[in-house]
């Protein structure tokens, strides 16, 4: 038997793949272009996950605010902006005007005394870290995917994990918004505060954010330790771990008793890297699951294989500058649903999801993800007025996630969960309004004032905003 458990899992997966019989397991593949191009028609736009597309008649990539303003003023029909295209929800699609923010990138200015920095909103998160490091600043927290554009991450309230840390939107102290009428608005808590409170999480319904001013920290280094443990052991000790560590999250493995845990704290002298991210892990996990899922008692076989392969000790340690430790490799395409439930309801909610997967014999092996985020005061933030636990449910990109997500989503509703704005869900404006009783109407009033003709609203936004 190989000594390294990653080698064991990989070897088990290879054996599983070789043993697959006709009709057993999944043989799907991910098309590079899931929609066909027709000669003479507009080129299709497709998101990263391959589940959203459109055929915009006009595309542009402005490199200045003046060009953004002119495009918005002159645009006919619906207008949508796109950054990295990592939203699973249909926030971007339009067959009229699509504005890419890629060229609005880089550091605008910084202030060493206040540790604030202004960046162009098209800047990717994997560029933000080095840019801030160059001026002796750092984001206090980041999501574990760093491909997002800053503007899109803000529009959908992207977040990391940490009970004392909020979403990326909570770090905004000022922004500049280009409106559908061609106005350029600078806003903050003291300047045009109603626009500021609405624009910090807006699903792109107010216009296009061009610049963002962030409140940062001094640069710092982190050490991340990854382990595999029993899910119930993690849940029994969850509050202690959350309080003890700067960042903590865990990823329960469906149809198994195991979970991956990720503990991240400020680095100590002498911390060194041990092992590395395994880009094949999710693919290997799937192969193992596929080959045993048809067997009687498959859950027991699958769980046993994982316990042999993964054990219960530290599997990897990563240490270095914060912006290098926060993100992880994402080599497998997937679709995702995520809800934020009140923090106290998190453990019960994740337990019910895992039990439902077992009870309904849902054939899924893609890990769930459980994180904690501090409350904020942003009108349409998922964390508005409440500390939250976010629970993410994933499916591989070449499989239809609908049956699986449909079985799980009502559990989130039971716990008064708020869906992540950039991920898949089925709620409409009426049900969403009930989840944001304090400021839903405030946001709608600002939206109607800035975009009375609904220029920024595609069909999906009309559904979720009731416009």
Q: Which residues are within 8 A (CB) of 269 and not within 5 positions of it... i.e. 6 or more apart?
A: none
Rg (CA), the chain: 22
What's the pLDDT at 18? Answer: 42
Pairing mode of beta strands 184-187, 172-178: antiparallel
Instruction: Tell me which range, 16-25, 252-261, 286-295, is most confidently predicted by mean pLDDT.
Output: 252-261
Alpha-carbon gap, residue 166 to 157, rounded angstroms: 10
What's the pLDDT at 141? Answer: 97
Alpha-carbon gap, residue 124 to 434, rounded angstroms: 33
Q: Which residue has the tokens 């045993």?
A: 292
Burial class (CB in 10 A: 0-12, 13-18, 19+), 67: middle
Tens of pLDDT, residue by residue over 70-118, are: 999 999 899 999 999 999 999 999 999 999 999 999 999 999 999 999 9
Q: Which residues are within 8 A (CB) of 459 and not within 5 positions of it... i.e. 6 or more apart?
A: 90
The fraction of the chain above a pLDDT of 70, given in percent, is: 89
> Would you say residue 314 has pLDDT above 60?
no
Dmax (CA) for the chain in angstroms is 67
Alpha-carbon gap, residue 302 to 134, rounded angstroms: 47
Beta carbons of 259 and 250 less than 8 angstroms apart? yes
Write the DSSP assignment of 24-37 as a string of letters.
SS------SSSS--
Alpha-carbon gap, residue 77 to 454, rounded angstroms: 9
Phi, psi of 296 (to 5 degrees): -60, 135
Alpha-carbon gap, residue 157 to 287, rounded angstroms: 34
Task: Name the nearest CA neighbour of 119 among 217, 219, 216.
Answer: 216
Give, rounded to a whole angstrom, the gap between the first and last alpha carbons of the chain.
61
Rounded (to 5) percent helix, strand, coil in the chain: 30, 25, 45
Pairing mode of beta strands 97-100, 58-60: parallel
Task: Name the nearest CA neighbour of 148 among 85, 232, 238.
Answer: 85
CATH code reported for the domain at 107-218: 3.30.465.10
Pairing mode of beta strands 314-321, 107-111: unpaired
Alpha-carbon gap, residue 250 to 137, rounded angstroms: 28
> Would you say residue 331 has pLDDT above 90?
no
Per-residue pLDDT band for 242 (boundaries 50, 70, 90) equals very high
What's the pLDDT at 10? Answer: 52
Tens of pLDDT, residue by residue over 219-233, are: 999 999 999 999 999
CA distances from 50 to 85, 187, 256 (A): 10, 35, 29
Beta carbons of 9 and 284 less than 8 angstroms apart? yes
Tens of pLDDT, residue by residue over 372-403, are: 999 999 999 999 999 999 999 999 999 999 99
Element containing residue 108 per DSSP (H, E): strand 107-111
For 237-385, where are the alpha helices, taking DSSP H only?
238-244, 281-292, 298-310, 322-325, 346-359
pLDDT higher at 237 or 18: 237
Alpha-carbon gap, residue 394 to 335, rounded angstroms: 6
What's the pLDDT at 16? Answer: 45
């Amino acid at each position: 038997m190989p000594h390294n458990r990653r080698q064991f899992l990989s070897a088990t997966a290879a054996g599983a793949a070789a043993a697959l019989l006709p009709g057993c397991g999944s043989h799907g593949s991910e098309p590079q272009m899931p929609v066909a191009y027709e000669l003479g028609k507009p080129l299709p736009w497709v998101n990263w996950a391959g589940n959203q597309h459109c055929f915009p008649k006009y595309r542009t990539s402005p490199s200045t605010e003046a060009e953004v303003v002119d495009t918005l003023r002159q645009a006919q029909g619906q207008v949508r902006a796109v950054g990295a295209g990592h939203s699973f929800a249909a926030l971007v699609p339009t067959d009229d005007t699509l504005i890419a923010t890629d060229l609005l990138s880089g550091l605008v200015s910084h202030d060493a005394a206040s540790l604030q920095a202004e960046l162009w909103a098209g800047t990717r998160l994997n560029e933000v870290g080095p840019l801030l490091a160059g001026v002796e600043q750092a984001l206090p927290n980041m999501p574990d995917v760093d491909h997002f554009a800053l503007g899109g991450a803000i529009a959908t309230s992207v977040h990391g994990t940490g009970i004392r840390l909020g979403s990326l939107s909570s770090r905004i102290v000022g922004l500049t918004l280009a409106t559908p009428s061609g106005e350029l608005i600078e806003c903050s808590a003291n300047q045009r505060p109603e626009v500021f409170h609405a624009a910090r999480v807006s699903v792109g319904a107010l216009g296009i954010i061009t610049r963002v001013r962030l409140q940062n920290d001094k640069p710092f280094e982190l050490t991340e330790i990854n382990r595999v443990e029993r899910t119930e052991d993690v849940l029994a000790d969850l509050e202690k771990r959350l309080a003890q560590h700067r960042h903590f999250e865990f990823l329960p493995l469906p149809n198994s008793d195991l979970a991956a845990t990720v503990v991240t704290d400020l680095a100590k002298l002498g911390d060194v890297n041990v092992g590395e991210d395994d880009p094949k892990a999710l693919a290997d996990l799937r192969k193992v699951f596929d080959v045993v899922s048809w067997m009687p008692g498959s859950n027991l076989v699958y769980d046993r294989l994982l316990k042999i392969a993964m054990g219960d000790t530290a599997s990897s340690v990563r240490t270095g500058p914060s912006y290098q430790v926060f993100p992880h490799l994402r080599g497998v395409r997937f679709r995702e649903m995520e809800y934020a439930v009140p923090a106290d309801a998190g453990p019960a909610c994740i337990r019910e999801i895992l039990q439902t997967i077992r009870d309904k014999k849902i054939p899924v092996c893609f890990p769930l993800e459980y994180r904690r985020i501090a409350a904020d005061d942003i009108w349409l933030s998922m964390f508005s007025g409440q500390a939250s636990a976010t629970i993410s449910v994933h499916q591989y990109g070449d499989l239809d996630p609908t049956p699986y997500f449909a079985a799980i989503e009502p559990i989130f509703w039971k716990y008064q969960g708020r869906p992540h704005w950039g991920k898949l869900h089925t709620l409409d404006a009426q049900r969403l309004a009930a989840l944001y009783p304090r400021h839903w109407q405030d946001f709608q009033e600002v939206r109607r004032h800035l975009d009375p003709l609904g220029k920024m609203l595609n069909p999906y936004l009309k559904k979720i905003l009731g416009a």
